[in-house]
Copies of this chain bind each other. A is one copy, B any other.
Amino acid sequence: MSERPPTIYDVAKAAGVAASTVSRAFARPGRVNFATAERIRRVAAELGYRVSPLARGLSAGRTSMIGLGVADIGNPFYTEIIRGAQDAAAEAGYTLLVTDARESGAREREALERAVTTVDGLVLATSRMSDSAIRAIAKQRPVVVLNRAVTDVPSVLTDTADGMRRVVEHLAGLGHEGFTYVAGPEASWADGMRWRSLRELAPGSRRLGPYAPSVPGGGAAAADFLRAPSSAVVTYNDAMAIGLIRRLTVMGVRVPRDVSVVSFDNVEAAELVTPALTTVATPLRAMGRTAVVNVLAIANGAVPHTTEPMVLPSRLVVRASTARREKGGGRAVWEGPAPHAERRRNRTSPAWGTTNASGSSRRTADGSR
C-alpha cells in the first residue's frame, strides 16, 4: 500500500552520507562518530525508516529469530513453554517464530524445513520426528529439544523419576498401593519415561492404553479402568485426568473418594476443574526459557560443553483429586456408597495466585453434601 518504504539509501542521501554509514549507524554502535550517528538517526526517524529484517538477514546471515516447534499451538501444555521461550527470546532481542505442526508429522517436517533457514536456532518441543531427522536439522542450525533425549543434541527435560517418586510417596502416604497408569501416545518419549519410572517405583502397577492425550482420550480409559480398578490412578497428563474423572463421575465413581487420580504437567486448567487436580508440575515455563537461552548461547558461539540433557526439577502439587484410601476398600469401590470416613489431606500450597479457592470450595462442597 502507499509508496515504497525508505531504505538506507534514502536516509543516506537525506543525511548526506554513504549508505554504509547509515547501516553502521544502526548495526554497529561506536563505529560511527556519535554526532553523525545522531543525525542519521534523526533523519531516519523523520523518514520513517526501519531496517528490513529480510535484507539484514540475507546479508548478515543472522535473522534474530529463533524458532519454536510445537505439536499444537492451542494445547495448554505448550502455552507455558511458549511464554517461557518468548520471555527469553525477547530479553535477548530475538523474535520467536512459533511453528505449529498441528499434530501432523508431515506438517512438522514441512514447517520446520521452511523455517530452518530463516532462524538462528531452533527449539523442538515434543517433536514427532525421528531422532535422525532431528539430528539432520541440528546439523544446519543449533537445536535444543524439549522433553526428550536425542543423542548428540542438547536437550532439556524434567526429572521424571523424581516426580514419579513424589507421586508414589504421596499416594502411599494416603494408603494406596496398587496403581494404574493411563498411558498417553506411544510415540511419546515422556510417556515411556513415566511408565518406566512408575513400574520401577511400584512394581505392582498396571498400564492401560495408549489413549489420546486429551480429555476424550482420558474418558475413553474410564471403562477399561473399571474392568480392573485400583484405588489410585496416574495419568499421562492433566487433560486425560480431567476426561477420566468426568467419565468416572458420570458412571458413579467419585473422585477422590473412591479413586485418587494424579496426573502430570499442571496446566492452567488443572486448578480450575472440580476436583482440582493433584498433579506433577512440569516446569513448563522454565523449560521454554532454558531451551531458548541455550540455543542462543550455541548460536552465538558457545560450544555446548556436553550434550548431557539439562534436567529440571519437578514438584508435586497436591490438590483435591487425591484422598486417603478408604478402609475396607478391598471391594470394588464404585459399587456403592463409600463409607463416610473422616479423611484429611495435607496439601502443599498451590502454585497459583488466586487460590485457596480450590481448597475451600472443595471443602464446602463436601460439607454440604
Binding site for B on A (CB under 8 A): 1-2, 5, 50, 52-55, 57-58, 63, 73-74, 76, 79-80, 82-83, 86-87, 90, 95-100, 102, 107, 111, 113-118, 138-142, 215-216, 219, 242-243, 246-247, 249-250, 252, 268-269, 272-274, 353-354, 356-358, 360-361, 364
Closest 9 CB pairs of A and B: A74-B79, A274-B274, A246-B357, A216-B354, A54-B58, A54-B57, A250-B360, A249-B361, A2-B139
Taken together, the copies of this chain in the complex come to 2
Once bound together, how far apart are the Cα atoms of A358 and B116, in whole Å? 43
Name which residue of chain B comes closest to A353, CB basis. Answer: B216
Min Cβ gap A216→B in Å is 4
Known: A52-B117, A53-B114, A118-B53. A2 touches B140 (CB 8 A): yes
A79-B86 contact given A1-B138, A54-B117, A361-B250, CB 8 Å threshold:
no
Please report the C-alpha to C-alpha distance between residue A268 and residue B74 in the assembled complex, in whole angstroms.
10
- A1-B142, A73-B83 are known contacts; what are 4 more A-B pairs with Cβ within 8 Å? A73-B79, A86-B102, A90-B102, A250-B356
A5 contacts B117, CB within 8 Å?
Answer: yes
Contacts of A252 in B (CB 8 A): 364
Whether the Cβ atoms of A219 and B354 lie closer than 8 Å is yes
Inter-subunit contact A354/B243 (CB<8 Å): yes
Q: A73-B98, A114-B95 are in contact. Are A140 and B364 (CB under 8 A)?
A: no
Which chain B residues lie closer than 8 Å to A86 at the CB level?
73, 100, 102
For the complex, what is the distance from the CA of A205 to the CA of B142, rounded to whole Å?
58
User: Would you call B215 and A246 a contact (CB within 8 A)?
Assistant: no
B141 close to A1 (CB less than 8 A): yes
Given A54-B63, A272-B269, verify A140-B1 contact (CB < 8 Å): yes
Q: Which residues of B contact A353 (CB under 8 A)?
A: 216
Q: Given that A73-B82, A83-B73 are contacting pairs, would A117 and B273 also be in contact in the complex, using a CB cutoff of 8 Å?
A: no
- Least Cβ distance of A90 to chain B in Å? 7
- Chain B residues whose CB sits within 8 angstroms of the CB of A63 once the complex forms: 54
A250 contacts B364, C-beta separation under 8 Å: yes
Bound CA–CA A111/B94 (angstroms): 10
Q: Are B354 and A215 in contact (CB under 8 A)?
A: yes
The reply to whether A357 and B273 form a contact with Cβ atoms under 8 Å apart is: no
> How far is B1's CA from A138's CA once the two chains are assembled, in angstroms?
8
Whether B97 and A97, one on each chain, are in contact in the complex, defined by CB atoms closer than 8 angstroms, is yes
25 contacts between A and B (CB under 8 A): A1-B141, A2-B139, A2-B140, A50-B113, A50-B117, A54-B54, A54-B57, A54-B117, A55-B58, A73-B79, A73-B83, A73-B86, A86-B100, A86-B102, A87-B102, A90-B107, A96-B100, A97-B97, A216-B354, A242-B272, A247-B357, A250-B361, A250-B364, A268-B269, A273-B274
Taking the nearest CB of chain B, how far is it from the CB of A199, in angstroms?
29
Closest approach, in angstroms, between the C-beta of A133 and any C-beta of chain B?
A: 13
Identity of the chain B residue whose Cβ is nearest the Cβ of A298 in the assembled complex: B1
Q: How far is the CA of A243 from the CA of B271 in the complex (A)?
A: 12
Q: Which residues of B contact A73 (CB under 8 A)?
A: 73, 79, 82-83, 86, 98
* Interchain CA distance A116-B57 in the complex, whole Å: 15
